[in-house]
Chains A and B, each alone.
Chain A
Amino acid sequence: MSMVQQQKQPNVSTPLITQRPANGIVNRLGYGLLYLTLGIIAIFQVYPLVWLFFFSLKDNQEVFNNSPFALPTSPKWENYTKVWTEGNISLYFFNSVWITTVSVLLTVLLASFVTFAITRMKWKFSKLVLGLFMVGLMIPVHSTLIPLFSFFLKVNLIDHPLSVVLSYTAFNLPITIMILMGFYYTLPREVEEAAIIDGCSIHRIFFQITLPMTAPVLSTTVIINMIYNWNEFVFINTFISSDKYKTLTVGIQNFIGQYMTEWGAIGATLMISIIPILIAFFFFSNRIVEGIAAGSVKG
């Protein structure tokens, strides 16, 4: 506070340029400190992952006898081949891929239908329906878990991947619609209007004109949904019990329970589960950043 008051003293009309040379060293020191702080935070955010990668290439002897900060002496890539072939990791990986893909496609398609109907078409209850989707953003998943479990039990979908796919879709619809809405409002209506005058059917307008125009925002929602579904834990842990339907998130949990002591194998398993997301982030980081920002700020 005292700093603020001191700074108020100089006359406003003092040319700012004359102050600069005197502050040069202070500025440089200040910038140095800022970068140091930002760098330390960056190391804090990334080093645990680097460390994970290192111990995924070590064997137990190396883990327990050498410093945990040491590089792997001779990288044990066989840790990866071992967990991929011996455990069920490849099966879990495949399940993660297809369950994520199906849920993402279903969510994005249904959300596009709803957003099109709400922003482009005229009907009495559009505000109410939009409200229902938006309130859905605030519902904690855990408060729905017991009724969902008993519902899926009744319709014989417990231990069936459909229960997970439907839950992912329902719970991701609100956020997906929210991200899509922002984009739909910026789209010009003229093209659609011209198409109607030409006698184009509404389904053709949606599939051949509007949907292709939303490609940029669709890719954002696809990636955001992909990250959510790939990492989801509570639903799959509660609804699925057989190994043949488990995804990586619960699969690695079991696997690690069985091989609690083999650090290299655990590291390799964890790396396998996070590499696809890291690759996606590497290629689409701008879209992901935009999507996360768009999906949260308006909430």
Chain B
Amino acid sequence: MDKVMSNKLVITLYVLPALLLILVLIYVPIILTGYYGLMKWDGIGEMSFIGLENYTKLLKDAEFWKSAFHSFLLAIFSAISLIGYLIISLILAGKIKGANFLRKIYLVPMLLSSVAIAQLWLKVYHPTNGLVNSLLISFGIDNPPAWLAEPNLVLSALFVPIIWQYAGFYILIYYAALKNIPESLIEAAKIDGANAFQIAYKIKVPLIAGVIKVTIVLAIVGSLKYFDLIYVMTGGGPNGSSEVMASYMYQKAFGTYDFGYGSAVGFFLLLICLVVTWLIRKLTATDEEIQY
């Protein structure tokens, strides 16, 4: 049996196509990104080696740090909103009628493309005929702001569709984890006189700590590489006030054809994502996996 199941030719045949694809299209490119960062290159003509010039320029580039700061704000916002999603999931998982249906309703925006969401929310934020401003005008506010054109408001305005898109996703994950907690543990706590808040705070939340940790990583790393919606809705504007790291990279490479510098930004983005993932896992490390 082992002879059949360790046939080297068959293993190669089954694994090689997929392995080649990820090596050529994922692993080689991330190495090349770092390498191209050392070049002066417009993407088509000759490359010339300029050492660490792109990387030192990056460290002094105020526009880049502004975009990095915006990405960082998004990450913080997203991480904080997880608390809200957790509370909603605790309510939904608490034997409420229609929880299944509601959870599915919440998930719907997650299924749509960022472009469709972006176009829809461009209309929602439309200065005169959009949902938001029509509502504000009907409440008697005469001159509501043009949300996406105000440098001070644009980032907060963009955060609403981002919440809208991902709320259902995190609620789903928490709900699934909470439903996996054995009923006997909750029953035992009730017999000991614990109330709903105590059960939620002292039993349910600690039991799904591992899942919460994963969602923190997903939310923060996801925000750091956030791109589609912002690119379509504002293109980073007005005047760079909603630029994030990925849109800055895209603009440098495919907007101004500075592929060398764009690569340096891309490599920096990769490093940040990997370091942040590692850091969060380290900081939130639990000593042992919870068994029940």
Contact = CB atoms under 8 A, between A and B. Distances in A.
Contacts of B172: 289, 292-293
B95 to A, nearest CB: 11
The dominant DSSP class at the A interface is helix
A266 B33 contact: no
B286 to A, nearest CB: 15
B43 interface: yes
Nearest to A110: B18
A46 B13 CA distance: 47
Given A113-B17, A145-B266, A146-B253, A45 B11 contact: no
Nearest to B168: A45
B108 A143 contact: no
Contacts of A48: 109, 120-121, 124, 131, 164
A48 B116 CA distance: 12
A4 B225 contact: no
Interface in B6-35: 6-8, 10-11, 13-15, 17-19, 21-30, 32-33
Contacts of A16: 190
A197 B8 CA distance: 19
Interface stretch (A73-81, A83-91, A214-222, A225-233): A225-233
Given A52-B120, A293-B172, A142 B266 contact: yes
Interface in A242-260: 248-250, 252-253, 256
Given A45-B164, A292-B172, A142 B25 contact: no
Interface string A10-40: 1010101000000000000000001101100
A234 interface: yes
Given A4-B201, A278-B111, A281-B111, A142 B21 contact: no
Interface residues of A, number: 101
A173 B11 contact: no
A129 interface: yes
A123 interface: yes
A276 B92 CA distance: 28
B106 A144 contact: no
Interface string A140-159: 11111111111101000000
A129 B269 contact: no
Contacts of A285: 104
Interface residues of B, number: 100
Contacts of A277: 111-112
Contact of A233 (B113, B214, B224, B253): B113
Contacts of A133: 18, 22
Contacts of B249: 142, 145
Interface stretch (B49-57, B144-152, B192-200): B192-200
B241 interface: no
Contacts of B18: 110-111, 113-114, 133, 173
A263 B130 CA distance: 11
Given A45-B106, A141-B225, A142-B266, A122 B6 contact: yes
B9 to A, nearest CB: 10
Contact of B214 (A4, A118, A289, A296): A296
Interface string A284-298: 010011001100111
Nearest to A177: B18
30 contacts: A4-B197, A10-B193, A12-B192, A35-B96, A48-B131, A68-B134, A117-B14, A117-B15, A132-B27, A136-B27, A140-B269, A140-B270, A143-B30, A144-B26, A144-B30, A145-B250, A148-B29, A151-B29, A231-B112, A231-B113, A233-B114, A233-B228, A253-B115, A263-B129, A292-B169, A293-B176, A297-B177, A297-B211, A298-B214, A299-B214
Given A144-B266, A274-B113, 13 more contacts: A4-B198, A4-B201, A38-B91, A38-B96, A110-B18, A120-B5, A121-B10, A143-B266, A253-B232, A266-B119, A273-B113, A293-B172, A297-B211
Interface of A: 3-4, 7-8, 10, 12, 14, 16, 34-35, 37-38, 41-42, 44-46, 48-49, 51-52, 55, 63-64, 67-69, 110-111, 113-114, 116-118, 120-123, 129, 132-133, 136, 138-151, 153, 166-167, 169-171, 173-174, 193, 196-197, 202-203, 206, 227, 230-234, 238, 248-250, 252-253, 256, 263, 266-267, 270, 273-274, 277-278, 281, 285, 288-289, 292-293, 296-299
